[in-house]
A = this chain, B = another copy of it.
Amino acid sequence: MDYYDNLGYLINKAARMTKWDLNNALTDVGITSAQWGLIRDIFLTESICNNEAERLCKLTPAAIAERMHADRPTISCMVEKLVKQDFAYRVSNPNDRRSQIILLTDKAKVLIPKLMQLAEDTLEKATTGFSEEDTKQLKEYLSKVIENLM
């Protein structure tokens, strides 16, 4: 019984290992790899928003969940944790009283370069010995697996 011939096991294990490695790297900062992914999404989305209207529709929990292919309770709870840790804050949406805009605090923004680097380090470690073509091919394979299951 060779676990390393079972694709389901391999995908799951690779996911756990990359999360585990990044969690370790992020311990000092006090966030998890999943939280980093959320911070990263909000940061990059803020960067490309050119005006208030874009921010109002692209930085709601629903929009973030959609972009990250995650479900809204998960994003809602994770945002709550970031707010509690003063990494993010909520602003009411003037156009929709149900909705709110999620923005990053300065405390989070100053950490972005370091967090980007830590995440990059984990992925570089994960792909040690891979050529650029290997990494590209792996991404294509995983994209196709995801597409097949959507």
- A residues with a Cβ closer than 8 A to B are 1, 3-5, 7-22, 33, 37, 41, 44-45, 48, 67-69, 119, 122-123, 125-130, 134-135, 137-139, 141-146, 148-150
Contact = CB atoms under 8 A, between A and B. Distances in A.
A139 B3 contact: no
A36 B57 CA distance: 41
Contact of A139 (B5, B16, B146): B5
Interface of A is mostly: helix
Number of identical monomers bound together in the oligomeric complex: 2
8 contacts: A4-B143, A7-B123, A7-B139, A10-B139, A11-B142, A15-B15, A21-B149, A138-B138
Contacts of A122: 8, 149
A4 B139 contact: yes
A18 B145 CA distance: 8
